[in-house]
Copies of this chain bind each other. A is one copy, B any other.
C-alpha cells in the first residue's frame, strides 16, 4: 500500500517549470515567438518561465488555447501551487479552526 501524502513535503512543480522544460522545447520556438502567439509581452512570459509569476486565469486560457489541451491543466497546476503555499503560511492556525455541523432546522 503506497501512501499518497495529502500534504506533500515539497512544493508542487511550478507551472512555469513545465512550460520551460517540456512545452517550449517541444514547440521549438523562441520565447519571443511564443509570447507573440500568446498575445503577451515576452517579458511577462519570461517571468512565468523563471517562476517569478504564477499562471493567472487569463494566462491559463491563453496557454490552453496555444497547447490545445484546454485551460484546466494550467489552472490545476497553479491551484496545487497556491494551496501548498497557503497551507504552509496558515500553519497551525488551520488546526484551531473547528469543524461545525449544520443543525437540522
Contact = CB atoms under 8 A, between A and B. Distances in A.
Interface in A76-105: 79, 82-83, 85-87, 89-90, 93-94, 96-103, 105
Contacts of A103: 26-28
Range, interface on chain A:
35 or more
A87 B61 contact: yes
Interface stretch (A11-19, A42-50, A66-74): A66-74
A56 interface: yes
A97 B71 CA distance: 13
Contacts of A71: 83
A18 B3 CA distance: 34
B105 A65 contact: no
Given A57-B82, A82-B57, A89-B58, A99 B66 contact: yes
Interface of A: 23, 25-29, 37-39, 56-58, 60-62, 65-68, 71, 75, 79, 82-83, 85-87, 89-90, 93-94, 96-103, 105
